[in-house]
Structure 1
Amino acid sequence: MDSTALKNLQDNCTCLICSDFMEDPVTNGCGHNFCHACLCLLWNDLKDTFCPVCQTHLPQRSLSRNHQFRNMIEIIRLLPKRQRKRKRQEEHTVCQKHDQPLVLFCVKDRDVLCTKCSLSVEHQGHYTCSIKKAGSYHQKVLKMSIESVKWGVKEAEEKLALQHRRVLGLRKKTEYQKKKISYEFAQIKLFLQTEYEACLNEININELVSFSELNGYLETLSDHVSTAKDLLKEVEGIHEASDVILLTSTLTAYHRLQNLKYPKPWSFRTEQYGLSLPPQYSGLNRIIKKFQTDVTFDRNTAHPQLVISEDRKSVFYKEARQCVGASPQSFHPWPALLGCKGFYSGRQYWEVKVGDKPRWALGVCQARFSGDWSNWPSGFWAIGRHTENGYVTYGPMRTEFLPVVQPSKIGIFLDYELGELSFYNMNDRSLLYTFRNSFPGTLWPYFYTGTDSEALEILTHPTPDTGSYQVLGQFSQHI
């Protein structure tokens, strides 16, 4: 006989009170089987009787002999002892309170009980089952938990291995970046050393040329002084001579005095020396390449007298109105508009061609507002041209500034997290102005066109002009 089938058969023939094969098996009213003596002994001191397994109330104490179980048990007793000893090998722990085997399990309290414990007040009404049944159920639950934990451990190990690979990759990348930075700064150092030596050499050459010119001038000036002294001595002699000599020599003396010319003054002007960084070392070039963003005009915010191109990259002011009713979001009463896309994080760069417009303003604003041009609300940062040679900042403070080179193209770089908004003159690659502020909310690109007919144009693919960098500090300002 199969060992599993035999074990199940032995379990079904075992009394749940004494944990041994049932002697004189009886069946109670709820259908559970016990030894007749075990059940009578259990109910001996109880007024109300319950089933030890399912706690069913049995007031009549009705029992019926189970002849089938008795015959089955007799057959099992005839089996070889080594086969039926397996059940007996499992020793049951004895209840310390009632000195009976622990054969039941309270599901609610999660405690093992003997039959008398199951009928006590603490567990009255609680669902109990055999230890075997509860153990089988919890074995399945525990097996599922073990499988889940194994799967979790396997997944964690895979993630750990992945993180180790990432750490190695990060280390390699970091080492590469260190080598790259070291190489770049070595090149910069070499470039600066070469520029330094070239500047010193040029200064020395100019110094030698200047000293040579100065020495020649000094010789010319010395000869002139000698000639002037000789002529002065001669004229003084004529002045002291007789009238005949004075009259006969005066014309010659006048002629020589009039023809005496002073040498041209020698002028010395110190040359201005500056540093021109090559394009590959330009922080601005990296900004343009990495953070270039596509900005277009928003028609809904445009003043009614502004004409916008089909690609929404160009706009100009026209005297005749374009539409009868203006959008409630438009910047009435002055000609201005916003970009279609707002920025609330990250870094963005865009470039605008202003040409020779007499008035313009570029920047960002916090919200789509309207108001008085002379009294800007908070949440507005811009620069603009307001007179022929006058440029001004609009924002927390109004500051006037004068660029060295008049700009026709303006580069705008926004670093939202850093709280910086920078404006560049793309004609000479110089920094015009930087706002430093904690930006609240979404920022929208702002454009004021003025009332002239020249267009304001957003450059889709900027082609920066080559030129010198006037401040070495701009080299890596935003990198």
Structure 2
Amino acid sequence: MSIDCGHSFCRECITDLLVNQRQGTSSPKRSHCPLCRAPFKKDNLRPIKQLENLIECLKELERERLCEEHGEQLHLFCEDDGQLICWRCERSPQHRGHTTELVEEAALGYREIFQKALTELREEENQYQSLKLTTKEQIRQWREKIVHARSKIHFDFENLYNFLRVEKCYLWRLEREKEQTLKSLQDNEASLEKQIQELKSHIQELEKKCQGPAQDLLQDMRDTLGRSLTVKLNVPEAVSLELQTV
């Protein structure tokens, strides 16, 4: 409920406040906000539908986190099975003798593991980004070499008109060499970009896990860690920038 000054309280609390304040005052029509002491009337109490809807959504989320078998809260984490369980699950034959601990306590340890994996993935991403920048620079240098070589070939053969057909042959060979090497460099760039995107996907998944609730962090944590730890840098084969057509 919202009162005249804009502060909000649950219906039961503000109703109790009205009753207590009226018992000790001679003014039965007005009460005072416990936060700012501004006066307000009971008739001006207004429900906050947006907040009410939000609370219902949160309650629904809590209901979704109940144990499917027992309907109890998933307050425990089974280390042996890597599962969220309730207190009744812990006493069942399936989990008897297993190592269990409170979800929040388990999340502390695994959050550090996720953070470590996240750090390693970010380092690999930086390596990929560095390789991608190097490849872009190689492409730029290669293009400049081609421009320079083309200009030199044109200049040399301007003075050798009789070798015009030979000039065209060299230019054709140069063009073919350009396309072949450029394709290799662009393939390397595309490979690095693909691997960078894969790394970003794993990083986003781990960031979401680390920033979310403990239950979300521990849910399928082994699969998440397994996928992130198997990501390895596949460095493309180096491409020679030595010009063969001279």
TM-score normalised by structure 2 residue count: 0.38
**Which structure is richer in relative contact order (CA contacts within 8 A, separation 6 or more)?**
2
- Larger helix fraction of residues: 2
What TM-score, normalized to structure 1? Answer: 0.20
When Rg is computed on C-alpha atoms for both structures, the one with the higher figure is: 1
